[in-house]
Amino acid sequence: MTIKHIFVVGAGTMGNGIAQVAATSGYQVTCMDVQPAALEKAKAAIGQSTAKLFEKGMITAKQKSAADSIQFVSNMDTMKDADLVIEAATENPEVKLRIFKDMNANAREGVILASNTSSISITKIAANTKCPDRVIGMHFMNPVPLMKLVEVIRGLGTSDETTQTIVELCRAMGKEPVEANDSPGFISNRILCPMINEAVFALQEGVGTPEAIDQVMKLGMNHPMGPLALADLIGLDVVLFIMEVLQKELGEDKYRPAYLLRKMVDAGRLGRKSGRGFYQY
């Protein structure tokens, strides 16, 4: 199927990034959210991001104006005009399963339904639709306009044709697709979140200060940022949620969240978004 028009569900951090990159890659884009404030915020974020990228010579004036023509809507009425739907709404299984049911009812027959979920089973999401062969994970990284990777996740029923179409689309969006099978945390969070969790254990046990732990990983392992600073960027609540999914779904004690991680989330110290995490912002 030729993809010309992409409909993005959810206009938050990831949804607006995906909408922006799709638009600057030449696709017609509609971006939907149930919160009017999120749509306003997305419009402003895309405007700021494309202005900066244009200033730096990373996108052309034509690409910038393509991003200005993204349609922002508050319902799925025009989803029938789209050739692909990418869901990037709140990471909550109930919310996603409901949205996929609605996407299945509103999108045209034959359209691929993709999810940007970080941790929810693509197979489970697909089972909630009448077209599991056309459901797939497109796990973009944050910030979407700058990060190259898209993890492409095949559910148990995802067809080869769907996978091939999405792999080609990722490349057309200037991204590097890497295929993974549906498993808790996929490849990225299966490895990243336990590493962050281990850094929190090290802090909890007094092995080092936050600065020392992050410096060791930056200077010694060549990581661009330390695990605790990265946790603050991702959101401590998100890291905790993913560790809980890994522990529950894989059933192994090695995925047990560090007590300090839970305590910080309970205290509302969620990282950058709340102004305080392992560091003060």
Answer for which of 12, 47, 93, 208 binds ligand NAD (CB under 6 A) is 12
Q: Which stretch binds ligand NAD (CB under 6 A): 87-95, 104-112, 146-154, 176-184?
A: 87-95
**Which residues are designated catalytic?**
118, 139, 151, 189
Answer for which of 3, 6, 8, 14 binds ligand NAD (CB under 6 A) is 14
Phi/psi-derived region of residue 12, left when phi > 0, alpha when psi is between -120 and 50, beta in every other case: beta
Pairing type for strands 135-140 and 112-115 reads parallel
State which of positions 119-158 bind ligand NAD (CB under 6 A): 139, 142
Taking the alpha carbons at both ends of the chain, their separation in whole angstroms is 46
Answer for which of 3, 6, 8, 9 binds ligand NAD (CB under 6 A) is 9
Q: How far is CA 202 from the centre of its chain?
A: 28
Cβ pair 96, 50 in contact under 8 A? no
Q: What's the burial of 253, exposed, middle or buried (CB within 10 Å: 0-12/13-18/19+)?
A: exposed
Tokens of 53: 């990228």
Tokens of 250: 């894989």
Binding characters for ligand NAD, 176-215, by CB under 6 A (x = yes) = ----------------------------------------
d(CA 90, CA 38): 12
Q: How far is CA 103 from the centre of its chain?
A: 18
Answer for which of 99, 112, 173, 264 binds ligand NAD (CB under 6 A) is 99
Under the criterion CB under 6 A, does residue 97 sit at the interface with ligand NAD? no
# of chain residues touching ligand NAD (CB under 6 A): 24
Site residues (vs ligand NAD, CB under 6 A)? 9-15, 32-35, 38, 88-91, 95, 99, 116-118, 139, 142, 234
